[in-house]
Structure 1
Amino acid sequence: MIKITITNIRKILIILCLGFSINPLMAQESEGIEGFISKLSIQGSVDTYFRTNFNGLNKFEYNENGDIIGSPQAPATSFANDPGFALGMANLIFGYEGEKVGFVADLVIGPRGEDAVFLSGPSTNLVNQLYVYYNVSEKLTLTLGNFNTFLGYEVISPVGNFNYSTSYMFSYGPFSHTGLKAEYSFSDKWSGMLAIMNPTDWTEFDPFGLYSFGGQLGYSNDSGNAYLNILYGEQAPNTSATFQIDLTTGWDITPVFYLGLNTTYSSNGEGFYGAAFYPQFKTTENFALGLRAEYFEEMEDGGPVYGAGVRTYDFTLTGNYTVGSLTIKPELRLDRVSEDVFVNTDLVPTNKLSSFILAAVYAF
């Protein structure tokens, strides 16, 4: 105890001496510190929801012996699948944007966040994104670290999606990558990106010594944008390499009508392909109505969701009512599958599931 006390006293004296010597320098550099603080940003969101099925189970069913004979039904897509009143996530994003360099630390807490970082270890299961970047020039930016995927129309945060539930194409594509990417602006409208990354969703480290390659070609103007995305690489040892090509685009057709499109093809032994339209109408200043109409088909040699060769249709009608920073999202969803993958309230197999969600998303 004596040694620890003496050591602590020495540390305190050193800190005090440094403080007195640094204080004049701090005064001289106060403008620089204020400038640094002015470039820091904090944003994020909180979301929660209620979910129920019209023709499927909303709770566990038991027989007279207490054995489970039925469980709550939900589409086999990511997030928003729990029955009754349920939680989404709290999202907190810290950022610094300097003239040349910056960073983003994106933290998540809650079921949606846990599902999004499902391959992260205990030490990083709160980290959705964590990266630094360097603006080498006005045209070239290098980014190193963990970043959300560049493929697909939908994103992890509910703030970035019109619909609250997610599509099949999003759910079975990549969520996040860890690696190095280079983004280049060819002009005001055209851009490109190349990346080398860990296997998909292995965000904390690379356990296999395998790497994936990504690329993107983008076009944008005042009316919308279009991105052609490619991903290639082995995601685990002794497996076929994943090849995914993806087109994402969205345009303001009129001041009140927007149309988005996502189409994708993914092959790795359990592949799929599909397309989804996203028409959205702004009916008033505070309310908009949008539809996701998705077709999703799994490969004949193996599918990741309901089985080889299975076809799925997802029709999701969502309202967005905005009050300040809060968005209320009532949503009707119908999933129709070519096989009987659901059961109805009588425990009879069926190929249809209709459901309702009422979600609240607060963004700051």
Structure 2
Amino acid sequence: MRRKIEQLEARISQMEYEKTVAISGDVPGKKVSSELNAKVVSTSQEKEQNKGLAPEDRSVLDFFRGTTINMTLDGYYGYNFNRPVGGINLLRAYDVTSNSFSLNQAAIVIEQSPNVEAGRRFGMRLDLQYGQATETVQGNAGNEPRPQVYRNVWQAYGTYVAPIGKGVTVDFGKFAGALGYETNYTKDNFNYSRAYFFNYLPFYHFGFRASYPVSDKLTAMYWLVNGANQSEDFNGFKSQALLLTYKPTKRVTVQANYYAGQEQRDRNPALNPTFASFPTQPGLSTDLIRPVLRGRFHVLDAYATFNITDKLTLALEGDYVINRIQTNSAPARVTGGAAYLRYQFQPKFALGGRFEYLSDRGGLFSGSTQALKENTVTADYKLAEGFLLRGEWRRDFSNQLFFLTNRPGLLKKEQNTATLGLVWWFGRKEGSW
């Protein structure tokens, strides 16, 4: 019976084909036969290739199907109208030089995310970064016992989705911080330069983090890490954080974060590279600091994003930071906030603005007590998908004489900069990196 049905289907297909030819006036000839034969041959070859594909080759293809390899290149030219000594823009995270063609960052991001539906509960991510940005986020022995060991590793962590409830996602390794609204890669921000709070709040952490979707609108995350900007711990104290992400509607996202740690080191850095003082790796220090500095570091951070329309986005950020050297020491505080605005006039053109205030009582951020403000306006022009031209005007100002000028020892209360940035990115990873 099944064979007869197949014969009938074939006969009907032939009749429909002959009817189409009669209506169009075309007479089937050699060209049609050749095309049909080519399709048959092509299909047969594909089947033969699939049959002959070794399991090892199939696993390689599956790997690349689930893995994204992404690259970005970010450079700029900036001019500081103070003409500062050394061509240095103070308080800038990435656009640190004036009157110089500069490489902000060149990075490669390799990621394979878990795919529970496909039966793979684990994944991994590796970000390698080079350029001036590297010196900011992985700069010196002030925050790292051995910064050169990890200098170009921006992120490196493995992921496992534990089959608990809706799935607990656990990461281990070095990962970017989530305190503050802005992120590492320029293409994912409204402005070319970064805010004071991006420059001050922790850039990265090393340890564990776990997240769980409490509901469709609320996600909770917990961290247990070495500390702020510490790939290797320098005091033996483990810092913790609790982060909550709430999405009441598809156009509003709110994040509230609390971080607590002990960020004073208990041993002096060792000169590195040099000869090891013990049969171990260079740079590991046994020069203890006494008395032990046990003061705590606390951060309250919150920000919200409002996609008011498809073209207009508003974001607000507020921060409160307090630090003590000893438990009974006078506290130093950083408080303030920022507002971010972006309007997409056309698919290729957008304007972004940032308005920020930071009170630095005790010099935690800038090294001296002062009130800082900055206003930034940025124009985006997307020359092509993955190629962005960004022009920016920024004004920093303080209530104290702080910013460099062209005369050593002569300071000003403000600095103004104009910057032109070029950003390229490639790869299949969607959204923010």
**Fold conserved between structures, TM > 0.5:** yes
Moved more, 105-114 or 191-200: 105-114
Contact kept in structure 1, 2:114 and 2:161, CA below 8 Å: no
Shift of residue 343, structure 1, vs aligned partner = 4.3
- Superposed, 1:324-335 pairs within 5 Å as 324=384, 325-335=386-396
Work out whether 1:254 is the aligned partner of 2:309.
Answer: yes
- Would you say how many aligned residue pairs link Structure 1 and Structure 2? 325
Counterpart of 1:6 in structure 2 is: none
Equivalent residue of 1:123, what SS? helix
The one-letter code matched in structure 1 to 2:313 is Y
Question: 1:344/1:276 Cα in 2 relative to 1: closer, same or farther (>3 Å)?
Answer: same
What is the TM-score normalised by the length of structure 1?
A: 0.85
After superposition, the C-alpha distances for 1:140-187 in whole angstroms (9 at most, x for unaligned) are 101111000011111122122121111111111100000101100011
SS in 1 for 2:253: strand
Could you list the runs of 5+ residues in structure 1 that have no partner in the other structure?
1-25, 59-69
What amino acid is the match of 2:149?
A: S
Structure 2 residue runs of 5 or longer lacking an equivalent are 1-52, 116-120, 267-292, 325-331, 427-433
Alignment correspondent of 2:13: none
Residue number in structure 2 paired with 1:81: 96
User: Which structure is higher in strand share?
Assistant: 1
Change (3 A) 1:311 1:282: same
Q: Do 1:271 and 1:304's aligned partners in 2 also have CA atoms closer than 8 Å?
A: no
Higher helix share: 2
- Equivalent residue, structure 1, for 2:109: 93
* Cα distance in 2 for residues equivalent to 1:255 and 1:184: 29
TM-score (norm 2): 0.71
Give yes or no for the alignment of 1:191 onto 2:219: yes
Letter in 2 for 1:122: Q
Aligned-pair distance for 1:40?
Answer: 1.4
Distance in 2 between residues matched to 1:320 and 1:224, nearest whole Å: 24
String of CA shifts for 1:240-273, please: whole Å, max 9, x gaps: 2110010021111112211011111111133201
Amino acid at match of 2:364: G
Q: Identify if the C-alpha distance between structure 1 residues 215 and 30 changes in structure 2 by more than 3 Å, giving closer, same or farther.
A: same
Q: What does residue range 322-361 of structure 1 map to in structure 2 within 5 Å?
A: 322-324=382-384, 325-345=386-406, 348-361=410-423
Structure 2 equivalent of residue 126 of structure 1: 152
Letter in 2 for 1:132: G
RMSD: 1.9
Task: Specify the alignment match of 2:63 in structure 1.
Answer: 36
- What does 1:291-330 correspond to in 2, within 5 Å? 291-299=353-361, 301-308=362-369, 310-324=370-384, 325-330=386-391
Q: Is the contact between residue 190 and residue 341 of structure 2 (CA under 8 Å) also seen in structure 1? A: no
SS of residue in 1 equivalent to 2:89: coil
Structure 1 partner of 2:327: none
Aligned residue identity for 1:94: I
Alpha-carbon contact 1:51-1:82 (below 8 Å) kept:
yes
- Tell me how far 1:345 sits from its aligned partner: 4.8
Q: How does 1:97-112 map to 2 (within 5 A)?
A: 97-99=113-115, 100-112=121-133
Aligned partner of 2:322 among 267, 281, 300: 267
1:283 match: secondary structure = strand
Q: Higher Cα Rg: structure 1 or 2?
A: 2
The AA in structure 1 aligned to 2:392 is: E
Percent pairwise identity: 25
Contact 2:66 2:112 in 1 (8 A): yes
Q: Which residue of 1 aligns with 2:3?
A: none
How far is the alpha carbon of 1:30 from its aligned partner? 3.9
**Are positions 1:115 and 2:141 aligned together?**
no
Flag the 1:319–1:255 CA change in 2: closer, same or farther, 3 A: same
Q: Distance in 1 between matches of 2:367 and 2:355?
A: 19
Distance change (3 Å), C-alpha of 1:349 and 1:124: closer
Deviation at 1:37, TM superposition (A): 2.5
